[in-house]
Amino acid sequence: MNRQTRGLIKDFTVLFQHLWYRDFPMSALVQGKMDEKFGAASWTTHIAGCVKGVGDLMGYLTHFEHAGRFDAVIKDFDQNCGERAITHLEWEWKQPAMLGERFNEVEKLVAARGRALFSTLITYSRHEKDADNRSIIERQWGDGPEPLLVQFVTFTYKNGRRHLGQLSAELFVNGKWRTLRVQEALPWNRPGSKWFNPEEPSA
């Protein structure tokens, strides 16, 4: 992984996590918790908005449902060779451990990882299933040098609702994980922010 790719991954991570707090989907929350029945559509839309915002701020083109293969592709434009994929992106409401081998988002990225500078997976991870989720991702991605950026939204589960914990950016490359950046998943749980409310129920 060269210096350019490392820089792009860092920029994407910081911008995505900053934009995560913008236009937060409050309608999908009940007392600060995500409802399983109504949350999926709102959070899928929210992720798409964050991805589009990152592409715009980096000066790139963002294509959704690109070629019927990926949830999104962020591209730059080179006058000599045309559009070039910066990252292929997939996101999934259901955590890997819930679907097992039917979790195919990583497999989609693997099939085309040589045609982008890096790949990005955005998924949810229940705390007690973290090891299982990582194991599925590791097995599907393999231990090669191609970088996979994973944005984990961690949560606990109670009474049919997800209690969000953290948004953690992890880089998986050469068979190893490296944490890049971690922040509170709910803006009002971030001390010092304009949204911070110590009286608000935590995730």
Task: Confirm whether pTM is higher than 0.85.
Answer: yes
- pLDDT for the residue numbered 98: 80
pLDDT digits (tens, 9 = 90+) for 142-167: 999 999 999 999 998 887 778 889 99
Tokens matching residue 142 = 């393999």
The answer to whether residues 12 and 149 touch, using CB atoms and an 8 Å cutoff, is: yes
- pLDDT for the residue numbered 160: 73
- pLDDT for the residue numbered 39: 65
The terminus-to-terminus CA distance of the chain in angstroms comes to: 36
Burial class (CB in 10 A: 0-12, 13-18, 19+), 31: exposed
Which residues make beta-bridge pairs with 33?
A: 30
Tens-digit pLDDT string for the chain (203 aa): 899 999 999 999 999 999 999 887 765 555 555 555 556 778 888 999 999 999 999 999 999 986 668 999 999 976 556 678 999 999 988 888 887 777 889 999 999 988 999 999 999 999 999 999 999 999 999 999 999 999 999 998 887 778 889 999 999 999 999 999 999 998 888 888 887 766 655 44
The answer to whether residues 166 and 183 touch, using CB atoms and an 8 Å cutoff, is: yes
Mention every residue, 6+ apart, whose C-beta is less than 8 A from residue 76. Answer: 59, 60, 61, 83, 84, 86
The answer to whether residues 4 and 175 touch, using CB atoms and an 8 Å cutoff, is: no
Which residues make beta-bridge pairs with 172?
A: 148, 177
- d(Cα 168, Cα 108) in Å, to the nearest integer? 22
Q: What is the DSSP string of 76-119?
A: EEETTTEEEEEEEEEEESS-HHHHGGG--HHHHHHHTGGGSSEE
Question: What length is written for the chain?
Answer: 203
